[in-house]
Chain A
Amino acid sequence: MIERWNRWWFPQSDGLDLAVCRILAAGSLLFVFLPFFMTSPSEHIALIERPGGFDQPQWMMRLLAALVPADSSAWPHLVRGAFAVAIGAGVTTLIGLRTRTSAALLTLATWFLVSHDGSYGEIHHPEIVLSLFLLFLTLSPSGRRLSIDALLGGRPEGMTDRAVWPLKLTQVLLAWTYFSNAAAKLLYSGLEWMNGYTLQQSMLYSSLQWGRPLGFRLAQHHDLCVALSIATGAFELLFPLALFVPRSRTALLLSGALFHLVLYFTMNIGFFQNVILYAVFADFRGPETRLRALLWGERRHDARVEI
């Protein structure tokens, strides 16, 4: 049992896959999610300045409020500071400079921003798995490859058994998000959830509320909504197969990307953080080997010319 556990979570690795995922996570947070999908600094400050304060403070806000009272004028500065830290630490995590410290700061800043936004009565799911992955980066050798740290310290020799568990744990969390969602639908509504009317209703509301004309058009086709509901349920239920059946991964991950694209353009529900994190299922050693072979080939050719 213990041997199987260790084989699953702690296989030997050179850390390349983790490094690529670190770059994708930090890069997407910096260039996509912070500027376009997450609540902006001025929107955070509007929440702070609104009378009444926190509605349902998240645990992180409750902790902070014990140090800085909720009505203190310091909160706008805390928000601006968190954004500055997120951007600075995002860059250093991306390039792998003091990687784990940078990832810790990026985690703190991101968690602060999401928790603050979610302390006024409504908390949302899209940042959850990405935020946890950032935490995993702080606890693992995430700067071992493709980093300034590796360049300055010399490329580490050999393999490590600590560079795969963050990827595996993120895989499990992704599978959990889909599977528990499907299970909740089946437990609360049974197969009725796939009657087509459920999706028509959700799509009709979201398309009108958030201005998605494509959703309004699709919602008018009951048969199509039945098919999309069955496809959604099947995808969410089957996603855990990606953990254990490597051959199923390509189909499931492509379905997932398509699922999130359709959700975004019909209902304005953006879960692209999960799509970016699909990278945790990838094996980047193949492409790297080919790239190295290509580069080595060029170098040998150059050497021949010099001779």
Chain B
Amino acid sequence: MSRAWITAFILAVLALHVVPVAREFTGARETLWPFLAWGMYRHSSTPPVETTVHRILARTDAGTRRVGPEDAGFERFAFRRFYEIPIAGGDSAAAGELAGRLARRWDTPVREILLEETVVTFSETGSRGRKTVRLFAAPPR
């Protein structure tokens, strides 16, 4: 490659990195990998420091066990996107799909999906957690 071509290539790569950042100001979220905006975690927070975390559990005839991404066969972000977030939003169809998937992978019927929701709050006296559990009956197979 001649210097001119390399120069054009360099400028193109740099420009393609600037475009998504500029476009973000218009509200667009770029998905043209590998040219993405890098402003992760850019929004500030104010007190109270509080977050909600979810744990999924499955009840089988042998007992109750925690369900992680590896149980469903998905990478952790995909598991969160396909199951954790929808089930936390009350989506029983996602719970049913997960129950079916686990039953196939574990080779045992899954009776219920349980969503354990914990709200953790930091205060000057330490951390505090409030836990609630929601049940989703698995559809019969």
The reply on A176 being an interface residue by CB < 8 A is yes
Residue of A nearest to B21 (CB): A180
A–B pairs, 18, beta carbons within 8 Å = A43-B74, A111-B34, A117-B75, A123-B31, A123-B36, A139-B9, A176-B38, A181-B39, A183-B39, A184-B37, A184-B39, A185-B39, A185-B41, A189-B44, A197-B44, A197-B49, A200-B45, A205-B51
- A264 CB-CB contact with B under 8 Å: no
Find residues 30-66 in chain B having any chain A CB closer than 8 Å to their own CB.
31-34, 36-47, 49-51, 53
A197, B46: Cβ atoms under 8 Å? yes
Interfacial chain B residues near A204, Cβ < 8 Å: 49-51, 120, 122
- Helix, strand, loop or mixed for chain A's interface? helix
Indicate whether A4 reaches chain B with its CB closer than 8 angstroms. no
**In the complex the two chains form, what is the Cα distance from A190 to B81 in whole Å?**
30
Binary interface profile of A, 204-235, with partner B (CB < 8 Å = 1, else 0)? 11001110000000011000000000000000
* Other A-B pairs, 7, CB within 8 Å; known A132-B13, A201-B50, A209-B80: A9-B6, A43-B74, A46-B74, A111-B34, A161-B3, A184-B37, A204-B50
B interface, size bucket: 35 or more
Interface residues on A, range: 35 or more
Interface assignment of A304: CB less than 8 Å from any CB of chain B: no
Of A39, A131, A190, most buried by chain B (CB within 10 Å of CB) is A39
For B33, give its contact among A123, A161, A187, A201 (CB under 8 Å): A123
Interface presence of A125 (CB below 8 A): yes
Nearest CB of chain B from residue A166's CB, rounded to whole Å: 9
A-B contact count (CB 8 A): 143
Give the residue of B10, B14, B46, B73 whose beta carbon is less than 8 angstroms from that of A195. Answer: B46
Q: Are B73 and A9 in contact (CB under 8 A)?
A: no
Q: In the complex the two chains form, what is the Cα distance from A200 to B17 in whole Å?
A: 30
Q: How many angstroms from the CA of A6 to the CA of B10 in the assembled complex?
A: 12
CB <8 Å contact, B49 and A201: yes
Task: Name the residue of chain A whose CB is nearest to the CB of B2.
Answer: A162
Looking at the assembled complex, report how far the CB atom of B44 sits from the nearest CB atom of chain A, in whole angstroms.
4
B43 and A189: CB pair below 8 A?
Answer: yes
Complex formed: what's the CA distance from A209 to B59 in Å? 21
* A-B residue pairs, 3 tightest by C-beta: A184-B39, A189-B44, A201-B45
Which of B33, B37, B74, B81 is A180 in contact with, Cβ under 8 Å?
B37
* B76 surroundings in chain A (CB, below 8 A): 210
A122 cross-chain contacts in B, Cβ below 8 A: 77-78, 81
B34–A132 CB distance below 8 A = yes
Give the interface centre of B9, B40, B44, B118 by most chain A CB atoms within 10 Å.
B44
Binding site for A on B (CB under 8 A): 1, 3, 6-7, 9-10, 13-14, 17, 21, 24, 31-34, 36-47, 49-51, 53, 72-78, 80-82, 118, 120, 122, 126-127
Interface 1/0 per residue, A54-74 and B, CB below 8 Å: 001011000000000000000
A10 at the interface (CB under 8 A from B): yes
Q: How far is the CB of B10 from chain A (nearest CB, A)?
A: 6
Q: Is the CB of A200 within 8 A of B1?
A: no
Closest A residue by C-beta to B69: A43
A9:B7 contact, CB within 8 angstroms:
yes
B6 with A58: CB separation less than 8 A: no
Assuming the contacts A58-B31, A59-B32, asked whether A176 and B43 have C-beta atoms less than 8 A apart, the reply is: no
Kindly state whether residue A298 has any CB partner on chain B within 8 Å: no
Q: How far is the CB of A169 from chain B (nearest CB, A)?
A: 6
Known: A114-B33, A162-B6. A43 touches B73 (CB 8 A): yes
* Residues in A neighbouring B13, C-beta threshold 8 A: 132, 169, 173
The contact of A131 among B7, B34, B38, by CB within 8 Å, is B34
Name the distance in Å between B84's Cβ and chain A's nearest Cβ.
9
Q: Are A189 and B42 in contact (CB under 8 A)?
A: yes
Q: A58-B31, A123-B31 are in contact. Are A195 and B44 (CB under 8 A)?
A: yes
